[in-house]
Structure 1
Amino acid sequence: MASGYDTKTRGLAWLHRCLADERAEYGLAFNPLRDAFQKAPEDAYAELRRRSPVHYSRLLDCWIVTRYEEVAHLLRENDVFRSSPHTTTQALVDPYATLDPDRPSLFMLDPPAHTRLRGAVREAFGPEAVRRLTPHLEECVRDVVQRLGRPGDRVDLVPRFAGAIPLRVLDLVTGLDMHGADDVTGWVSDIVLGLEPIATAQTAQRALTSYRALGKYLDERRARPAREGSLHWSLLRSVRAGRLTDAEARQLLMFLVLAGTKTVSDFLASAARHLSALPPRAPERRHVDSALVDDLIARVSPVQIVARTAAVPTVLCGRRIRAGQRILLVLASANRDLAAGAREDGGETGTGRARRAVAFGGGIHRCLGAHLARLEGRYALSYLLERFPEVRLTGATPSRRCVTLRSWDSVIVHL
């Protein structure tokens, strides 16, 4: 399989040629390497929605879909638009496939394998499991917030708030006791950056090194006695009963660590940045309820895009998509489009189907931990504003070279 990291032949001359050819064909070019995109990707996506909602990026070697109607449709059509990248005909492939080609992650699998593996962890994130978890979740969130400091202190919320809470909550679910390991968040960040479609060869190598280090660390944790009732305990029982292989159980835990920490961390950083920039008496700061959390998740969309592969030739908005071509579904853009459409038509599609934000994906791959992530967000943001009602944003630095996720290197506040 070809790699997407050949930066020797894909230098500036290649980049400029791609963008020039794209402009000649579509009248505009999508360039996620621009500083303007990194600061405000929503502006670039808004232009694509208006002028080229199904757009072929020569730079990324794939189709980019930005309108809500098409994104929501493609998320549901898993027989036509598959999650596995292994049938792609393109030169640039899903970077995750280069990290662990023999053990694909849950988000890269299609039924029946996806259905079986998802079923092995579904119960751990169901309403009853989350209800039992809630008192412990509340306790650990309060502890993290209280340790931030005193009112008036200058604090970076990314490592001490947004990064700390998801790891501690995931510990409650898995029973792996990882929250004391400072290296885990660094490994996860390196791996996620390596999954970006605009990653460099150097970034990819660092991601591979961190992926192996995180796998070794998880193996050490998995070798310890499992806490009864934890996900680790449940997966061990499934392995012993022959319902899962040990390699599958390991990869499920790896997937949950990557997805369950980084995406929630990015959401908390984005949401805290947004709320702390508002005046202290703004209504949004007074009461953080489930509706506000849902609105914030849709607004900031920590997972900006998900990828699919066309299983058969198809036509979308007049564009002919060949079998094997990769498609990026821009969840962040779709949610913006949905918000604008809801103001115009009351939130209904032309067929009467109720519209639903796609920040957590959709169809069979809708995020398993959506309910838990919402709860984490509500408690974390509520306690932050309760403990520090005058918290004020003083600066924030977005992570560079990010397309898949909306990440922050720092969110600096005065408590």
Structure 2
Amino acid sequence: MLPGTAVRWATKHGFMRAAIKTAARKGDPQARFFFDPVVRRDPYPFYRTVRETAPLVRGRLMWATAHHDLAGAVLRNDAFGVGFTDRRLPAPVGLMFRFSRRSSPIGPVDPPSMLVVDPPDHTRYRRLVSKVFTARAIEGLRPRIEATCAELLRDKPADLVADFAALLPVTVIAEILGIPLDMRRQFLAWGNAAAPTLDMGLAFRQYRRTEINIKHVNTWMRGHFARLRREPGDDLLSQLVQLDDLGDDELLATAGLLLAAGFETTVNLLGTGAWLLMRHPDQLAVLRDRPERWPNAVEETLRYDSPVQLTARVCQRPAELGGRRIEPGQVVMAMLAGANRDPAVFADPDAYDVTRPNARDHLSFSGGVHYCLGAALARLEGEIGLRMLFERYPDLRIDGEPRRRTTRVLRGLESLPVTI
């Protein structure tokens, strides 16, 4: 166990875990989302209940909305941010919080990660990496992604997640970051172990496992930075390590987020997309007749079963949302996956329809200044990966019971056994 692990767990998850359990015992329906295994397996009835209760629902711990218009509004409103401050914590807890940060490994949800800092810091970090993720730059990766797909699909997949859906995006992002390909399975293992950090209220054992794996990533990446300073390549990290205005902690946070975001969403998109199309052969038939519809099929998959289910924002100054006053320090949970099935926006929202004309109106990539930097890359990998998979193996079939990931914020398949 790393020094200070117990204190970090208490300030990041322990107190929140206790508060959520107390709220659940007192009948708070929102608290069910975090611990109810029924909701974890199929959260969409829960989102429907929240949406039908009110546009904005007040819980004991936070506000929540599953309405498309309000979820979009909170993501775009600069009165709401992602940065957490200890100023509102009781003095002893605030002291623990500051102490815990001193020796903490830096993961995707730890400052100075772009995921948890607001402008102007967020603006500066994003500007440094955004040129690599422009639509034009991503489209230039098409031939390399197609070649990677062809290589991975030479052998018949037995588990579609392990043998294809996970390997495609981690291979692509590894090349972008100058990471040796022989490290990709190790990074997948580290990433899978660290993914639960996006959830709230982790148990101590689970948090300890995530922290150990994040520490391994930190150690390897710091050595990687040193190698790239000696022998830079033409990859993104080689460019970033040459900048004088980025310290190692900022580099670590930026690289870690890009690595995690570069494959976490896409693994879930590819696995879920393949699973949905095998379960809906009529939709797959549409795509075989009209292959130009593959990009829209990706959008519909993102809408129907979002890889990122929700996000939260902290009110920074008094604001009005859905006719309710939100005070500074209050948290609003935007249930992205619930908003993606809002019948006010999507006709027959519980149907999977690859021809849906407004499928792209989903909120799966968030919105506002924190709109997903890798959205264009995820879309391209989803389009190429799913199309080439079913072209190469048109008789692909599910062969056993898929196993879902146990995470709450990230939703996808951990295993998808198939047969040809």
Q: What is the TM-score of this pair, normalised by structure 2?
A: 0.83
Which of 397, 407, 410 matches 1:405? Answer: 410
Which of 118, 123, 136 matches 1:128? Answer: 136
Which of 277, 285, 299 matches 1:283? Answer: 285
**Counterpart for residue 77 of structure 1:** 77
1:105 corresponds to which letter in structure 2?
S
**CA separation in 1, counterparts of 2:87 and 2:375?**
29
**CA separation in 1, counterparts of 2:225 and 2:23?**
46
**CA separation in 1, counterparts of 2:72 and 2:87?**
22
**Counterpart for residue 165 of structure 1:** 168
- What are the residue-to-residue correspondences of 1:49-60 with 2, within 5 Å? 49-58=51-60
1:87–1:324 CA contact under 8 A, matched in 2? no
- What are the residue-to-residue correspondences of 1:41-190 with 2, within 5 Å? 41-58=43-60, 61-78=61-78, 80-86=79-85, 89=88, 100=106, 103-149=111-157, 155-178=158-181, 180-190=183-193
- The aligned length equals 385
**Counterpart for residue 348 of structure 1:** none
1:72 corresponds to which letter in structure 2?
G
**Counterpart for residue 32 of structure 2:** 31
| 1:116-146 Cα distance to aligned partner (Å, 9 max, x none) | 1100000111123223322111111211122
Secondary structure of the structure 1 residue equivalent to 2:268: helix
**Counterpart for residue 259 of structure 1:** 261
Structure 1: stretches of 5+ with no match in the other structure = 150-154, 345-353
1:212 corresponds to which letter in structure 2?
K
For the structure 1 residues 9 and 325, does the alpha-carbon distance in structure 2 shift closer, same or farther, using more than 3 Å as the test? closer
Secondary structure of the structure 2 residue equivalent to 1:223: helix
1:196–1:403 CA contact under 8 A, matched in 2? yes
1:330 offset after TM fit, Å?
1.2
**CA separation in 1, counterparts of 2:416 and 2:87?**
38
Which of 320, 327, 341 matches 2:345? Answer: 341
- What are the residue-to-residue correspondences of 1:195-214 with 2, within 5 Å? 195-214=198-217
Secondary structure of the structure 1 residue equivalent to 2:180: coil
**Counterpart for residue 250 of structure 2:** 248
2:80–2:314 CA contact under 8 A, matched in 1? yes
| 1:273-313 Cα distance to aligned partner (Å, 9 max, x none) | 11122237843452352111112112221011112111123
**Counterpart for residue 236 of structure 2:** 231
**CA separation in 1, counterparts of 2:271 and 2:105?**
27
For the structure 1 residues 275 and 128, does the alpha-carbon distance in structure 2 shift closer, same or farther, using more than 3 Å as the test? same
2:76–2:367 CA contact under 8 A, matched in 1? yes
1:31 corresponds to which letter in structure 2?
R
1:267–1:302 CA contact under 8 A, matched in 2? yes
1:138–1:379 CA contact under 8 A, matched in 2? yes
Which range moved further: 319-328 or 155-164?
319-328
For the structure 1 residues 311 and 280, does the alpha-carbon distance in structure 2 shift closer, same or farther, using more than 3 Å as the test? closer
For the structure 1 residues 90 and 46, does the alpha-carbon distance in structure 2 shift closer, same or farther, using more than 3 Å as the test? farther
1:342 offset after TM fit, Å?
3.9
For the structure 1 residues 57 and 213, does the alpha-carbon distance in structure 2 shift closer, same or farther, using more than 3 Å as the test? farther
1:44 offset after TM fit, Å?
0.4
1:190 corresponds to which letter in structure 2?
A
**CA separation in 2, counterparts of 1:204 and 1:140?**
34
RMSD over aligned Cα atoms? 3.0
For the structure 1 residues 55 and 343, does the alpha-carbon distance in structure 2 shift closer, same or farther, using more than 3 Å as the test? same
Secondary structure of the structure 2 residue equivalent to 1:176: coil
| 1:248-294 Cα distance to aligned partner (Å, 9 max, x none) | 22221111011111111111111111112223784345235211111
1:220 corresponds to which letter in structure 2?
G
**CA separation in 1, counterparts of 2:326 and 2:250?**
33
Structure 2: stretches of 5+ with no match in the other structure = 1-7, 349-358
**CA separation in 2, counterparts of 1:290 and 1:366?**
19
**CA separation in 2, counterparts of 1:396 and 1:277?**
12
**Counterpart for residue 396 of structure 1:** 402
For the structure 1 residues 189 and 299, does the alpha-carbon distance in structure 2 shift closer, same or farther, using more than 3 Å as the test? same
Which range moved further: 355-364 or 280-289?
280-289
